[in-house]
Amino acid sequence: MIDMRAYERLLKYVKIYTESSPDTGATPSTPGQWDLARLLEEELKELGLENPSVNEHCIVTAWMPAAPGCEAAPPLGLLAHMDTAPAFSGRDVNPVIHENYGGGDIVLPKEGRVIRAADFPFLAGLKGKTLITADGSTLLGADDKAGVAEIMTLCERLQAENLPHGRLCIAFTPDEEIGEGPDHFDVAAFGAKYAYTVDGGAAGSIEFENFNAASAVVDIAGVSVHPGGAKGVMENALLIAQELNALLPPGAVPAKTEGYQGFFHLDRLEGAAAQARMEYIIRDHDKGEFTVKKALLQRAAAQVQAAHPTARVEAVVKDTYYNMKEKLADCMHLVDNAKRAAELAGLVPTVEPIRGGTDGARLSYMGLPCPNLGTGGYNFHGPQELACVEEMDRVVDMLVQLVALYSK
């Protein structure tokens, strides 16, 4: 008998404040992530897993020994992340359950927010199902607490029902949303030969291609004088920032791209006439186009610097992660088995590129091949985020089938 369904665990986990921050320089970046880590450690102990622990970097790990007769199976890793995105508040999440969704718009209780069916066509496929949202004042946190809940439910179910599985290596990481999840991850100690992150969207989705990613910070020091005597002297840092952004392709932004198309995303602009900072993320699936985009931003910075010689314009571009496809080319059984597991769980598998990244992208380059699986969550990183109860159940079913396939 399973004590808790995946959605019930999700309802508990989302109430723990784990929003990460790119500004603290700490690991984990925010103290609330310790709270969820310690809860998961205790729950893993209660489930009887081997050596559950939280290390000094707030990474939760545990292992499940192979079922009798499955000892020869390759050790398989399952990972999810505990933090929520800093793009929108994750504090004081109040989950709302919408039973038997009737189609149409979903009106959230607070701040006049509405999840409009016309904006999100996938909602038509969720009619009649039970949906979970936040109340409109926060994000929900299904990214990626739905994945955490599904892995925990899998662990309980495998033991309660004596289901076949090889050795399982379980990990929950902090700070994925700020690109630091695997910074202190010990792949060798984890011991998995292959792994999956459970950190995607619709149930049955399988992702093994992701963006190449870089961050770019542009610092602009203007020349500030009294406006009354500024002619020929003032250099307004905010106007220089506008000039720089205008030099980038106007169609290469998130709102105008899809599929494999890359973009520049001006994620933050702050400052005043005297000083400004621009923070970009640069994304492209194609490594060559990725290189071109990084060079284009550097050229734009150099061009505005030349046009404003008394100002100072400095651009620093740093790679964040790369497309895992290159590292999975020799491990396509991970994709094939995920497809088969989805079908056995009654899902229609879909394989599509990630317009983002996961811990698995970096782990794949660290020697642990690691595609990504859907969670049954949608609209991540904002107040219109939601999760589907029935899809979460099917994800657990898919994971049951997946570990069984690798147990043979």
Residue 190 shares a structural domain with residue 124: yes
β-bridge partners, 196: 78
Chain CA centroid to CA 216, Å: 19
Question: Which of 297, 320, 343 is the last residue in one of the domains?
Answer: 320
Residue 217 shares a structural domain with residue 306: yes
7 with 392: CB under 8 angstroms?
yes
Residue 401 shares a structural domain with residue 301: no
In a domain, residue 1? The reply is no
In a domain, residue 309? The reply is yes
Residue 203 shares a structural domain with residue 181: yes
Separation between Cα atoms, residue 47 and residue 66, nearest integer Å: 15
Residue 292 shares a structural domain with residue 363: no
pLDDT surpassing 90 at residue 40: yes
Separation between Cα atoms, residue 283 and residue 18, nearest integer Å: 26
Q: What is the reported pLDDT for 356?
A: 85
pLDDT surpassing 70 at residue 10: yes
Specify the CATH number for the domain of residue 360: 3.40.630.10
**Alpha-carbon separation of residue 228 from 225, 239, 271 (angstroms):** 8, 18, 21
Residue 121 shares a structural domain with residue 48: yes
Average pLDDT of span 23-45: 97
pLDDT surpassing 70 at residue 1: no
In a domain, residue 72? The reply is yes
In a domain, residue 339? The reply is yes
Residue 72 shares a structural domain with residue 167: yes
Separation between Cα atoms, residue 251 and residue 241, nearest integer Å: 18
Let me know how long the chain is. Answer: 408
pTM: 0.91
Instruction: Identify the band that residue 357 occupies on the pLDDT scale cut at 50, 70 and 90.
Output: confident
Question: Which of 320, 339, 374 is the last residue in one of the domains?
Answer: 320
Q: Could you list the residue range(s) of the whole structural domain that residue 129 is in? A: 6-210+323-407
Separation between Cα atoms, residue 51 and residue 41, nearest integer Å: 9
Structure tokens at 83: 């933090």
Instruction: Identify the band that residue 136 occupies on the pLDDT scale cut at 50, 70 and 90.
Output: very high
Specify the CATH number for the domain of residue 302: 3.30.70.360
- Of 81-85, 147-151, 178-182, 260-264, the least confident: 178-182
Q: How many helices (H) and strands (E) does the chain have?
A: 10, 18
330-335 CB contacts, 8 Å cutoff, 24+ apart: 331/194, 331/369, 332/208, 334/194, 334/196, 334/208, 334/369, 334/371, 335/206, 335/208, 335/371
Average pLDDT of span 222-251: 96
Residue 153 shares a structural domain with residue 295: no
Structurally, how many domains does the chain consist of?
A: 2
Question: Which of 263, 286, 320 is the last residue in one of the domains?
Answer: 320
Q: Name the residues annotated as catalytic.
A: 83, 176
In a domain, residue 239? The reply is yes
In this structure, is the dihedral angle defined by the CA atoms of residues 56, 380, 216 and 208, taken in order, positive or negative?
positive
Average pLDDT of span 285-303: 97
Q: What is the reported pLDDT for 264?
A: 98
Share of the chain above pLDDT 90, in %: 96
Residue 263 shares a structural domain with residue 401: no
Average pLDDT of span 34-49: 98
Q: What is the reported pLDDT for 3?
A: 82
Separation between Cα atoms, residue 185 and residue 89, nearest integer Å: 27
Pairing of strands 194-200, 372-374: parallel
Separation between Cα atoms, residue 333 and residue 321, nearest integer Å: 23
Residue 218 shares a structural domain with residue 327: no
Residue 190 shares a structural domain with residue 242: no
Residue 105 shares a structural domain with residue 223: no
In a domain, residue 287? The reply is yes
